[in-house]
Structure 1
């Protein structure tokens, strides 16, 4: 097989894998993890069961791939728009975060709650995305990702509030998304003001920033 053929085979494999993950997102949106067998998944995907094992090794591996794909979307949204002023970037990030949660509710719930009881690997993926979001916020606010422990704890607390508020909001989608966004942004501002009071190395952003 020449290089061109190898590239074509690799690209086809990547496309097929992405298609299977997209199918999995839809399936797990309506049905619990335990209620879906590999036979069910293969039937809905329109492929042989062996193909899913080929790409993901097991049902658990398939599920974890879906979770990882979902969190990659969230992290990408948070890290985008770096050219915007800080205040605009925070608003854009929170708008994107809530928009993602609204239109990918099953994936979002999986990311935040773990999805399959207490699964240490899912919990590790969730923790990793939290850390990345906090680091992104710190970089935008303080110009660096490595911040003092107290500042990190405060931002982690705010992140927990964001998740709880978002989960509750998804139950009714009231009030409007823009109102929830502004609420969370103001909570972040108050959190940063408090961080500045306790940690001189992380001063509160100036008004309007």
Structure 2
């Protein structure tokens, strides 16, 4: 009779949190199965790992979902229409910078850094959860800029996609800066400077809100 993995003796939510920290710190490729087995539940066997999660790729998808439900919520202001669009972008950028520089967490952002180096195969499904997460943030930024134009905060001829892409580039760029230990006040200064691009596209007679 084939031997099966021993019953799970670990808390599954905690196991995903343990795996999240590893993928966040090392990325998908460098987070080996042996590292995962050693970290989860104080150490589990390979049969137990596969019985619980199916595969490393499947676990990674659960990790990304968990990240977006927790740390990734720093970007929630982008989807809060009760906030003025400029305020929503400023809040999301600031919250993300503080999270990525938090000394109690791995530096940077899992969404930005989690699969660097794993794009060798064009049809690889491994980066897909992060591509989807980045697409959601991209859409949120574009929605804020478009809403700013619709409200009359920004000039009608503002290139919404270009301005949103500037903010997305800064958001993604915070991750390597955080890993290189660029100080939070420096990053916050960059955010403030980037927001002057919004101010430069204000509709005539509008003030910064």
Q: TM-score, normalised by structure 2?
A: 0.64
- Structure 1: 5+ residue stretches without partners: 1-12, 197-202
How far did residue 68 of structure 1 move? 3.3
Alignment of 1:37-186 (within 5 A): 37-46=32-41, 47-73=44-70, 76-80=73-77, 83=82, 88-103=87-102, 104-105=105-106, 108=109, 110-113=110-113, 114-118=115-119, 119-122=126-129, 124-135=131-142, 137-138=144-145, 141-142=148-149, 150-174=159-183, 177-186=184-193
Q: What residue ranges of structure 2 are gaps of 5+ in the alignment? A: 1-7, 120-125
**Shift, 1:150, TM fit:** 3.5
Compare relative contact order (CA 8 Å, sep 6+) and give the higher one, 1 or 2.
2
Deviations 1:135-187 (A, max 9, x none): 4533763468xx9994123211331133224522441232xx24422431331
Contact 1:111/1:126 (<8 A) preserved: yes
**What's the counterpart of residue 28 of structure 1?**
23
Q: Using a 3 Å threshold, how does the CA distance of structure 1 residues 101 and 140 change in structure 2: closer, same or farther?
A: farther
Q: RMSD over aligned Cα, in angstroms? A: 3.8
Rate the CA distance shift 1:55–1:192 in 2: closer, same or farther, 3 A: farther
Distance 2:49 2:108 in 1: 20
Change (3 A) 1:72 1:149: farther
- Indicate if the aligned counterparts of 2:74 and 2:92 stay in contact, CA closer than 8 A: yes
CA contact (8 A) 1:42 1:49 kept: yes
Q: Is the 8 A contact 1:86 1:140 kept in 2?
A: yes
When normalised by structure 1's length, the TM-score is 0.64
SS of structure 2 residue aligned to 1:117: coil
